[in-house]
Structure 1
Amino acid sequence: MFSKGDHKTDLIKSVIIFATLTVIVIGAFGFYLFSNSQALVAKEVSRDSLYRLQHVRDYLETTVLKRYEELFQDKVVSTAFQKYDGLGLLLDESNGSLGYRFLVLHNDIQNAKLAQEGLSNITVHFLKTGYTVDSRYIYEKPGNSKDAGFLGELSQFPLNRWTIRDGGEGERVMTYLQSLPYGSSHDNAKGYLYLDVSLDYVTGLLGGMLSSKEERFYIVDEDGKTLLTNSEQAVDGFDGSNELAGTAASVTVREEAGRTTVWAYSPASLSRFGWGFYVARPLDSLLIESKKLQHNLFVASIVAAVAGLAISLLMSRRVYVPLKKMMSSLQTLHRSLEKTRLLKLIHGDTEEAGSYSFAERSQFAVAYIRLRSGELDLGMLDHQFHNKPFHWDALAVSREELVVLFVLEPDEPDTDATVKETLRSLQEELCGVCQFSAGYGRTTDRLALVSESFSEAKHAARYEFLFGPSAVVGFHEVEARRNALEDMNFERFEKGIHAQDMQAVSTYLEEFERTLIDGGCGIETAEWALMQLSVCMRRMALHYRLSDRLEIPDMSRTLKEGTLGEGLERIKVDVRQIIAWLSSDAPHAHAETINVIQRYIHEHLHEDISLDQVAELVSFSPSYISKLFAEVLHMPFIEYLSRARLELAAELLRDGQESVTRIAERAGYSNVQYFCTKFKAKYEVTPNQYRKLTRAASVQTEVV
Structure 2
Amino acid sequence: MILSYIIIVLFITLVLGGTFYFYFTASYNEAVENVHLKMLEQVKNTLNTKIIETVESNYMILVHEFISNTNDLFGFHDDVSGNHTKILQTYNYLKKIVSNNSTVISNIHIYYKKQKILISSSLGVKYLNETNWPYYMNQDWINEMSGKNTSHIWLETRKVPLNLERPDTSLKINLLTYVRSYPVISTGINSDGFIAIDINESIFSDLIKMSAPSEYTNTFIISGTGEIISHPEKDMLNECLNDQKYIEHILDSRMLYGSTVDEVNGVKSMISYTSFPDTGWILINITPLSQFYEKTASLTRMLVILCLMSIIIGTVIASLITKNLYNPLKLLLDKIRSLIGNVNAGNKRSRQLVINTGIQHKANEFKIIDNAIDNLYLTIDDLTKTLKNNIPIIKYNLIMGLLHNQIINVNEAREKFRLINIDMDFPYYAAMTIEIESLRDISYLSVENMHFLKYNLIDETEKNSNDSLKFIAVDLPDFRIGVIVGATTTDEKEIGKIVSNLSSYAYNSFYVTITAALGRWVDNILNVHNSFNDTKTLLKYRFFYPHVPLLHADTLERENCQEHIPPGLIMKFQESLKLQNINRIKELMDKFRSLCSKGGYSADHLNQVMFEFVNIVSRYIRDMKYQFKDIEKKDIYAVFKNINNVNEFCDWIVELARSVINGLNERAESQNAILINKAKRYIYNNIKKDISLDEVAEHINISPAYLSKLFKENTGVNFVTYVKELKFELAMDLLLNSDLTIQQIAHEVGFNTPAYFIQQFKARYGYTPNSFRKQKSFLETEQ
TM range (shorter): 0.3 to 0.5
Which structure has more helix as a fraction of its residues? 2
Q: Which has the larger radius of gyration?
A: 2
Structure with the bigger RCO (C-alpha within 8 Å, sep 6+) is: 1
**What TM-score, normalized by structure 1, do the two folds share?**
0.42
